Amino acid sequence: MRPITSFGIVAFSECPHLHEVVNRICAWSRSQKVPVILHPFFKNIVPKDLPAAVADDEKSLISSSDAVISVGGDGTFLSVAHLCRFTQKPVVGINLGGLGFLTDIGPENLETSLQKISEGRYSIISRMVLEAYLTRQSSKLCTFNALNDIFINRINIPKLASISAWYGKDFIADYYADGIIVATPSGSTAYSLSCGGPIVDPGVNAILLTPISPHSLNERPLVLPADKPVRLRINEKNPDLLLSADGLDSTRLQSGDEITVSYGGVSTNLIQLAEQSYFSLLRTKLSWGKGSKRETDPA
């Protein structure tokens, strides 16, 4: 891959070890003469003598960077993907959060990882992005994009929602549940997984449909080919429901609203350093087979 000659550094909260990590990034930047530019968030929290500029705004940060580094957990990474507006700008994450399915760098190998990326010793993996648009009374109101999931969930009232679902022109079912999740394979290890959805390899072009706490145990999650849209309709008279994309962009829903979710070929580029299989990642993050000595096929 081509060398990365400048980095944008993004964080949105003062998580533990943030100052230490930023100081280390800036020290590496100075020693290797690879410029970094910090997100405007850092204006009031970093020491004045750090050898790095702070961007005036997010637009200048993106335009000045060959790649963008997310410092935090998967939530921060999702915010950075949205910040880059799902362009081809590569994104890599330094994990200061929990599981870190989307973040590829640990603090313990920070400088080594940055050096590899700056020298072009990395690969790019593309993750599919969903597009959802909301239609109300035949008028298209808004459009959302999501790397992980588009979901509908109740806000305040503890009652079941009534949501009808179609796949292309084919009617699926009327769901009675707390809500429903439409996820990408990347999002299969996020909200969908906590609601009993399957894990799907991110290399598969698929859309997952997972009901949230369905009234009937017969309403099971679905894995659908991504070549047709999923359409959802709100059936309640006075719904107290929220439509959300990656938990970042959201809007309240009304009776009769329709949400169409599809994959139109848009993707987000992730920088990957290690040639790690997806199953190895699952074993590490979810502790699959913990205690087992088998690492490879004995054959």
Report the catalytic residues.
Answer: 74
d(CA 143, CA 189): 24
> Coil, strand or helix: which one is 211?
strand
Does residue 224 contact residue 167 with C-beta atoms inside 8 Å? yes
Going by DSSP bridges, is the β-strand pair 230-234/258-272 parallel, antiparallel, or unpaired? antiparallel
Give me the count of residues in the chain: 299
Nearest to 92 by CA among 117, 108, 68, 111: 68
Within the chain, strands assigned E span 7-10, 36-38, 53-54, 67-72, 91-95, 123-136, 139-146, 149-154, 161-167, 170-177, 179-183, 206-212, 222-225, 230-234, 241-245, 249-252, 258-272
Rounded to the nearest 10 degrees, the angle between the axes of helix 18-32 and helix 110-118 is 40
Q: Using CA atoms, how far apart are residues 58 and 40, in angstroms rounded to an integer?
A: 7
